[in-house]
Amino acid sequence: MVNKNAVFPVTDVLAASVAIHRQQGGFVKKNSATPDRPSNSSLIYDHFFDDNLVVVTEEDCEQAAEVRQYLMGLAVKAFSRDLSDFEQNVLGLLQSDTVDRTKMGIAASLPSVFERHCEQDMWSIRERALSVTSEYVGKIRERILLSGLVVENVRHITKTKSYLACLSYDNKHIVKMFCQHSLRIGDVVNCSGNVKSQEISKYHRGMETMLNHVRIQSVNGERQGDLTN
């Protein structure tokens, strides 16, 4: 048993966090943990304080260095606005040489934060490319049926406890909708929905269509029981 007041090199903590994220297949929150799949924060705590070691590879160490560099860069860009408490804690951890037990939970979440930001960067590039060809789909207040929508990006909206899905239609048009369940990037969706709005994006200057009252019939060819979002 390690002294609870012990501190550890930030590089070692981040490498263990990346290894756990890899072995878990993602980030498991405390409220989603099961006996067979414990939370990432409990695993990283056990790794350092209870000698329940995870295997950390050289690739994990390299990925950890990339995570640290990338998130430090994001923090610098964010200095133009007030940082949230979480962002301040992340920046403090990344700038430190050591990590104590009170910061293990934050460290456990960083690979997931890095992953989400990388996905968002990829979507920004894809969205700009689609903006060149994108046209409005359907007409305002019309209910339409769309097949073969491809999920390009999904963002969790904490305030509304929902997901914003960004999709491409016919590999040319940008369609967005809010969902009560998470779709995955690359999913192919068949759904119906009302055309809520159509506008020129102030970010990419292309046309995009927003749907509401969406009913998802199938995802990747599997019926979803007419899920309503």
pLDDT tens for residues 64-76? 999 999 998 876 6
Which pLDDT score is estimated for 144? Answer: 97
Mean pLDDT score, 121-139: 95
Confidence of residue 81 (pLDDT cuts 50, 70, 90): low
Of 111-120, 131-140, 179-188, the poorest mean pLDDT is in 179-188
**Side-chain-facing half-sphere of 71: CA atoms under 13 Å:** 27
Q: What is the pLDDT of residue 85?
A: 80
Token pair, residue 20, equals 């756990």
Compare 2 and 124 and report the one with higher pLDDT.
124
Domain positions in the chain: 8-124, 143-228
Are 206 and 166 spatial neighbours (Cβ–Cβ below 8 Å)? Answer: no
DSSP string, 60-123: HHHHHHHHHHHHHHHHHHGGGSPPPHHHHHHHHHHH-SEE-GGGHHHHHHHHHHHHHHHHHHHH
Task: Examine the pLDDT at 48 and tell me if it is beyond 90.
Answer: yes
Q: What is the DSSP letter of 203?
A: T
Q: What pTM, to 2 d.p., does this model score?
A: 0.73
pLDDT above 80: residue 197: yes
For position 225, what pLDDT does the model report?
Answer: 61
**Six-digit token pair at 216?**
């998802």
User: How confident is the model at residue 58, as a pLDDT?
Assistant: 96
Distance CA 156, CA 164 (A): 6
What pLDDT score does 167 carry? 97
Say yes or no: domain 143-228 is CATH 3.10.450: no
Question: Residue 132: how many CA atoms within 13 Å on its side-chain side?
Answer: 5
Buried b (16+ CB within 10 A) or exposed e, 108-133: bbbbbbbeeeeeeeebeeebeebbee
How much is the pLDDT for 88? 84
The pLDDT of 85-91, averaged and rounded, is 83
Whether the Cβ atoms of residue 198 and residue 212 lie closer than 8 Å to each other: no
Least confident of 24-28, 72-76, 207-211, 213-217: 72-76
Is residue 78 pLDDT above 60, yes or no? no
Q: What angle do CA 163, 171, 154 make, to 5 degrees?
A: 15
Contact 111, 18 (CB under 8 A): yes
* Assigned token pair, 71: 């998130």
**If you average pLDDT over residues 33-44, what whole number do you get?**
94
